[in-house]
């Protein structure tokens, strides 16, 4: 394993970025126009990863900004409840609202979302609201790409990354690309490149790496080579049902297949993948095992209704992995 983590820290993982509300259609296999009821969950990629890894047993914390309203209070209370430390989730004082994601499940293959991201609270986290002492207590800092989409959240991430580097905290960059609030492909690429060049560990789908490189049909090996020339020690590129590939500094390339699943919807796959993958790494498992953990966790979540609530336990992941071993 090339990615190393500091020992004896208060937190295994501290995530920075958005914690929002998902409103999931309670009826499936129909367009949202015909959906009449929605169930409320905590959502947002870094929040999901924090929740998922906390359920797996990691000590986690969150840096973000919450609306001063019923949705903001629900998010704080839910995350507290699943063991995520919320002491650094600042309450917004300027009337900004919570980001929303309505999900539509027409069929397992046709899922879409409708996002409310205009002037939402999480994008207003300011650099001076990020605590160096808090970051210094973490083994890793998880940065979500969406937090770079606008000022001042963008500068808060710059600040957090600076603190992480100063305090020897492993930086994980989850690309988490959402085509909202970004002004242009060039702007996106500028900040994605910046973040990927600071990170020790980069995780994303092939499509997301293409956004980072502002090109189409990029090549995995070239992508990995470019990032490993900077601070990256491990670059994970995901290819959906075709599995994932990890590239390491020493030249090692590791591949893993995706696990078959009774897919209900595709939402949450990436976040559950990241939770389990990071859980495995920080617990000293091999890259191969970590990729399998990630894949298994994703397979479980896509068969369930929510992204956050559905995050599996270690036992569930290990059961699924065992099942597949036996089949082989």
Q: Is 240 in the site for a second copy (CB under 8 A)?
A: no
Region from 27-35, 253-261, 283-291, 316-324 binding a second copy, contact rule CB under 8 A? 27-35
Q: Is 102 in the site for a second copy (CB under 8 A)?
A: yes
Q: How far apart are alpha carbons 233 and 247 in whole angstroms?
A: 8
Residue count of the chain, please give it.
328
Q: Which is nearer to a second copy, 193 or 285 (CB)?
A: 193
Site size with a second copy, rule: CB under 8 A:
43
The conformation of residue 128, written as its DSSP 8-state character, comes to G
Site of tokens 């920080």? 282
Beta strand 201-205 with 234-238 is parallel
Residue among 1, 90, 108, 119 that touches a second copy (CB under 8 A): 119
Q: How far apart are alpha carbons 309 and 56 in whole angstroms?
A: 13
Structure tokens at 321: 């992995």
Largest CA-CA distance found in the chain, in angstroms, rounded: 56
Applying the rule CB under 8 A, the residues between 165 and 224 that interact with a second copy are 183-184, 186-187, 189-191, 193-194
Residue among 28, 68, 82, 116 that touches a second copy (CB under 8 A): 116
Single out the residue of 117, 168, 141, 160 nearest to residue 60, CA to CA. 141
For the CB of residue 225, give the shortest distance to a second copy in the complex, in Å: 14
Residue among 13, 14, 23, 237 that touches a second copy (CB under 8 A): 23
Residue among 2, 6, 28, 69 that touches a second copy (CB under 8 A): 69
Structure tokens at 31: 């367009």
Look at phi and psi of residue 105 and say left if phi exceeds 0, alpha if psi is from -120 to 50, else beta. beta
Q: Is 162 in the site for a second copy (CB under 8 A)?
A: yes
Residue among 39, 87, 168, 313 that touches a second copy (CB under 8 A): 39
Q: Tell me the backbone φ, ψ of residue 302, rounded to 5 degrees.
A: -70, -10
Q: Is 231 in the site for a second copy (CB under 8 A)?
A: no
128, 2 in Cβ contact below 8 A? Answer: no
Q: Which is nearer to a second copy, 129 or 249 (CB)?
A: 129
20, 101 in Cβ contact below 8 A? Answer: yes
Q: Is 36 in the site for a second copy (CB under 8 A)?
A: yes
Q: Is 241 in the site for a second copy (CB under 8 A)?
A: no
The conformation of residue 2, written as its DSSP 8-state character, comes to -
Q: Which is nearer to a second copy, 77 or 168 (CB)?
A: 77
Q: Is 229 in the site for a second copy (CB under 8 A)?
A: no
Residue among 26, 87, 91, 215 that touches a second copy (CB under 8 A): 26
For the CB of residue 36, give the shortest distance to a second copy in the complex, in Å: 5
Give every CB contact of residue 271 below 8 A, 6+ residues apart in sequence. 45, 48, 49, 52, 301, 307
> Is residue 206 classed as helix, strand or coil in its secondary structure?
helix
Kindly list the residues in this chain that would bind a second copy in the complex (CB under 8 A). Answer: 23, 26, 31-33, 35-40, 69-71, 73-74, 77, 97, 100, 102, 104, 114, 116, 118-119, 126-128, 151-152, 155, 158-159, 162, 183-184, 186-187, 189-191, 193-194
């Amino acid at each position: 394993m090339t990615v190393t983590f500091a020992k004896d820290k208060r937190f295994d993982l501290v995530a920075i970025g958005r914690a929002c509300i998902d409103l999931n259609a309670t009826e499936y296999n129909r367009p949202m126009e015909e959906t009449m009821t929605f169930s409320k969950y905590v959502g947002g990629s870094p929040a999901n990863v924090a929740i998922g890894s906390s359920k797996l047993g990691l000590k986690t914390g969150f840096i973000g900004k919450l609306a001063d309203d019923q949705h903001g209070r629900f998010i704080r209370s839910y995350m507290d409840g699943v063991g995520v430390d919320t002491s650094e989730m600042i309450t917004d004082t300027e009337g900004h609202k919570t980001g929303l994601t309505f999900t539509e499940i027409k069929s397992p293959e046709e899922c879409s979302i409708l996002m409310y991201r205009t002037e939402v609270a999480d994008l207003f986290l300011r650099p001076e609201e990020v605590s160096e002492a808090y970051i210094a207590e973490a083994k890793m800092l998880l940065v979500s790409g969406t937090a770079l989409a606008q000022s001042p959240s963008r500068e808060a991430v710059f600040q957090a990354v600076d603190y992480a580097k100063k305090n020897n905290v492993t930086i994980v960059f989850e690309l988490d690309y959402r085509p909202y609030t970004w002004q242009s492909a060039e702007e996106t690429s500028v900040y994605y490149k910046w973040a990927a060049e600071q990170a020790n560990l980069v995780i994303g789908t092939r499509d997301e790496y293409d956004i980072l490189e502002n090109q189409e049909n990029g090549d995995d090996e070239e992508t990995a080579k470019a990032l490993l020339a900077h601070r990256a020690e491990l670059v994970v590129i995901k290819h959906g049902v075709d599995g994932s590939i990890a590239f390491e500094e020493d030249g090692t390339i590791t591949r893993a297949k995706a696990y078959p699943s009774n897919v209900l919807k595709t939402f949450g796959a990436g976040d559950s993948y990241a939770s389990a993958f990071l859980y495995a790494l920080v617990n000293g498992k091999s890259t191969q095992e970590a990729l399998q953990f990630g894949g298994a966790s994703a397979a479980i979540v896509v068969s369930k209704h929510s992204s956050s609530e559905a995050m599996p336990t270690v036992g569930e992941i290990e059961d699924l992995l065992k099942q597949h071993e036996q089949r082989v």
